Amino acid sequence: MHALMLAAKGITQHIAPTDLVTRGGLDIVALLILVGWLYRRRPSAPAMPLVLVALNVGLFAAMSTISAGKFPAGVGFGLFGILSLVRLRSAAFTLRDVAYTFVTLVIALCTGLPHRDNWLVIMSGAVVLVAFLLVDDPRAYEPPTRTVKLTLDRVYDDPSLIAQDVAFRFGRAPLAVEVDEVDYVRETTRVSACYPAAPGEPVAQDTEPREPVAVV
């Protein structure tokens, strides 16, 4: 019992409840602006808001707990080691999602450290949010699309015929057609046709360089 009282006293000496509540409130406000408004201004992966909130709240809780007592330096390095294991492996996650994930972690780090001037935390968060407001303009992006992969049973001498053949098979012309592979042994052509995405459909972005084919 005496040991528990000493531990509680040590925690209160390192972190005040009012300071924790203030920093938690700043983190929630910044998270609502970042995820609830800025990120939702254009279509994205449906699961990403949950991922961003979980990473932010988890890191804030870890930073507050570590700062509340005497922890060795290895604990801090272990925390960053755990964060390095986080990977966005789904094809629906884009570079924009990675940028928002990084900023979400930065906000949690800024608000999770105790005994920092509130004006400095507020200014740091405001600068990040304003930067995303100016840079991530939803009007600068094209409408979301979906990719359909096809294997055609012939080799084309004229690349423009590929788009025509795909349009004939699907009944409508694609926005773009990209050649993935041409197999002269089997006489097949693998292509990726791009069509407008349906409302609410997750958008996948493939960054692998391919040969573009104009739609005629």
- Looking at residue 202, its pLDDT comes to 52
DSSP 33-56: IIIIIIGGGS---TTHHHHHHHHH
Taken in order 23, 31, 140, 203, the sign of the CA dihedral is positive
Average the pLDDT over 141-155 and give the result: 81
- For the chain, the average pLDDT equals 77
Q: How confident is the model at residue 31 (pLDDT cuts 50, 70, 90)?
A: very high
Q: How confident is the model at residue 213 (pLDDT cuts 50, 70, 90)?
A: very low
C-alpha distances in angstroms, 163 versus 81, 143, 156, 192?
Answer: 47, 20, 11, 10
Report field, pTM of the whole predicted structure over 0.75: no
Residue keyed to tokens 């609830």: 36
Q: Which residues pair with 93 in a beta bridge?
A: none
Q: Which of 149, 106, 122, 95 shows the shortest CA–CA distance to 22?
A: 122
Tally Cβ neighbours within 10 Å of residue 45: 19
How would you class 143 by CB atoms within 10 Å of its CB: exposed for 0-12, middle for 13-18, buried for 19 or more? exposed
Taken in order 103, 106, 111, 112, the sign of the CA dihedral is positive
Q: How confident is the model at residue 127 (pLDDT cuts 50, 70, 90)?
A: very high
